[in-house]
Amino acid sequence: MRTELSFAPLAEIETELLAVLAADTQTDKASDAQPAPALLTADPAVQAVVAAVLSSGEFKAAANETLLLHAPAGLKAKRLLIVGLGKQAKVTVNAVRSAVGVAVRFTKPRGIRALALSLPDLPHVAAARSVRSAIEGAFVGDFDPDTYRSDRKDKSVQAFTLAVAATANKSDIQTAFKEGVILGESQNFTRTLVNEPGNKLTPTTLGQRAAEMAAEVGLGWEIHSTEKIRELKMGAFWSVAQGSEEPPALIVLRYEPTGITDGPVLGLVGKGITFDSGGISLKPGTDMDKMKYDMAGGAVMIGAMRAIALLKPRVRVLAVICATENMPDGKAQKPGDVQTAMPLTADKPGKTIEIINTDAEGRLVLADGITYARQLGATHLIDAATLTGACVVALGHVTAGAFSNDDETYAKFNAALSTSGEKFWRLPLGDEYAELIKSDIGDIKNTGGRWGGAITAAEFLKVFAEETPWIHLDIAGLAWVEDSRPYIAKGPSGVAVRSVVEWVRSY
């Protein structure tokens, strides 16, 4: 999608469709109080066009509500679209992001390939923040998952113009615009990876896609496979990979800004299970097709590294993605097996893991990924994974789970959410939960029973983070959008890319 900024009056913008946002300014809380819709632009030409329809009561400016006007008098745009934001007092940059997605998705099935959108005038929100959110929303709205349809007709928006008042600070606006493009494209890059079927995106192919991206944006990269995994004694990672005919991939990406030789090194670790059958502990057949998305955590870190390379924060960052399939081959590991995880140093033995359930494989690959990131020099860690159904039971498909062993590190992530607009909720850790993963035959076991499953999985990972400040993101409930919404298509969401990037930038 081609994007551009415009500081021209709205009446002068020639486009197939001009979108403007509106909010309900009604403050009376009485049950019979009627909505009071108002445009969030002072442009007199647009105000004149919509005055009658706003006063008619036909349009109430509810969140994601739309109204299309053809051949608007006094405008060079062929159509005028009004998109509602809901109650004005509750409007945030997140609402702006969604509303822009609504505008883009409104145009797609109608054959409209170019649109302009007027940046809303929100007195309580800095214009630059709205600009970035608007651009992100446009890219998110433009993505569709129908890649392999034989009759696919490309309905993507080819040109998107963001119209900003001429009085705005142009330098700040242009910076925010560029950031929005980088983040929107990087989130969609992640979604493209997650959308790929398991037979098309094998671990090897995922490594190739990561390497191509790294070369394009200037990241350092290494892609390893079986020999390196065995050399590093990554017994937990290999235990999952050994049941598949497809070789695993150990993906390492590095961002090293010029002149930065000290300070923190941020380690991004992602679960890259390109297809998860459950292994010997085979999953039910229902919805198993979705298990192509079990590499979403790894894709998040690849997409985040793309954005980091282009945004150029002044901090060193490395990413480790452990990619493999989890399959029930004759060589696959079995419940009751004991595996030895990667040692941090040659003089320190790796932790032994009793395998209770082979479908708890994500924590196994993350265990070695976390250890390797530490070995490579990471001083702070964040991992992302579609790790547990238990997290979805706890938080539904609305909020993702987060865990941390360090309050200061988590505070930076929590602060980042106000910019990213993504929803995470911190869940507890504690000795009582750690007791549940103690093994009678080895050091730990890979499941802690039915109750508190998201927490015991996090406790498992904490064993390998040790004292290194660490955050774990369980995105199982949000990585896949179950039903299309007005602002985003059904399918991969790319959740956590923006939050991880903002966390990195906080350093």
Cα 343 from Cα 339, distance rounded (Å)? 12
Q: Which one of the listed residues 76, 283, 290, 485 is annotated catalytic?
A: 283
Degrees, nearest 5: CA angle 211-262-317: 25
Taking the CA atoms of residue 333, residue 335, residue 337 and residue 341 in that order, the dihedral angle to the nearest 10 degrees is: 70
- Detail the DSSP E strand segments found in 105-262: 114-118, 159-163, 220-224, 249-255
Coil, helix or strand for 274?
strand
In the annotation, is 363 catalytic?
A: yes
In the annotation, is 283 catalytic?
A: yes
Using an 8 Å Cβ cutoff, are 257 and 219 in contact? no
Cα 414 from Cα 423, distance rounded (Å)? 10
C-alpha distances in Å from residue 230, one per residue of 237, 241, 269, 487: 9, 11, 19, 45
Strands 159-163 and 114-118: parallel
Q: Which one of the listed residues 363, 374, 462, 505 is annotated catalytic?
A: 363
Q: Which residues contact 365 (CB under 8 A, 6 or more apart)?
A: 236, 237, 240, 271, 272, 273, 322, 324
- Nearest one of 119, 83, 93 to 8, comparing CA atoms: 119
Using an 8 Å Cβ cutoff, are 234 and 372 in contact? yes
Degrees, nearest 5: CA angle 131-135-141: 140
Using an 8 Å Cβ cutoff, are 474 and 400 in contact? yes
Using an 8 Å Cβ cutoff, are 277 and 291 in contact? yes
Dihedral (CA of 134, 136, 142, 145) sign: negative
Where in the sequence numbering do the catalytic residues fall?
Answer: 283, 363
